Amino acid sequence: MTRNNERHPAREKLAYALDFPSLAQAEAGAARVAHAAGVLKVGLELFVSEGPRAVAVGQKLGCDVFLDLKLHDIPETVERAVAAAAGHGVRYLTVHAAGGPQMLAAAARRAERENTGLVLLAITVLTSLDASDLAALGVAADPGAHALRMARLAHEQGIPGMVCSAAEVSALRAALGPAAVLVTPGIRPASGAAADDQKRTGTPESAIRSGSSLLVVGRPIRDAADPAAAATAICDEIQRASALA
């Protein structure tokens, strides 16, 4: 086990969600866990509040930045947003697969043209949705089948990464191959962390052994009595699971 001031060997597979309302709180929270989280995820709350300054939080700590804006708009608007994100030096950026083929293709072309190393991630099915939620949206398929359909659509348009729950990782890995970047939110440690508003969750071990590339963890670390220790424990589990995968 690593000490809190040492870089964990599995940290590149852990993204910590900076779900904080202010830049000062995000900076303090990120500093506590940067030894174990090689990726810091900036979501809607923080980015709307602080803008590009939020991206600099990760860069100052030597972490990759995951800009989780879930872009879903007309192709030209999304393409321009991709260019802006690339200009900020972020490593990962999310777009909704439901935006359709033209939007996805435009995003993929622009990321390639910018040539900054930006990895686009397509949202397949949000982990807060279950079969009844999809049915209310007019989707007859279950979450697993719909996630696979969305992933294939995005992959065909040149999107290299997908966001999916732990339940879908294995099927997406088999369908998309070893080069696909599979990112898994809704991660909850096996030691009884609350599911909160997530309906399709999984443990770090189950996701990694199923083929996940990167795990996203927020509240189980942020709300722990000792966030640094919680992040280290998750990385320890990732490292053990990676050895068995």
What are the extents of the domains in the chain?
Answer: 11-244
Identify the pLDDT of residue 192.
54
Instruction: Tell me the average pLDDT across 145-170.
Output: 96
Q: How does residue 243 score in pLDDT terms, banded at 50, 70 and 90?
A: confident
CATH code, 11-244:
3.20.20.70
Q: Which of 13, 41, 70, 199 is catalytic?
A: 70
Q: How does residue 168 score in pLDDT terms, banded at 50, 70 and 90?
A: very high
**Both tokens assigned to 138:** 């007019």
Identify the pLDDT of residue 197.
45
Identify the pLDDT of residue 5.
61
Q: Give the predicted TM-score (pTM) of the model.
A: 0.92
22-71 residue pLDDT tens: 999 999 999 999 999 999 999 999 999 999 999 999 989 999 999 999 99
185-219 residue pLDDT tens: 989 876 655 545 455 668 999 999 999 999 999 99
- Tell me: pLDDT of 1 over 80: no
Identify the pLDDT of residue 202.
82
Identify the pLDDT of residue 195.
47
Known catalytic membership, residue 70: yes
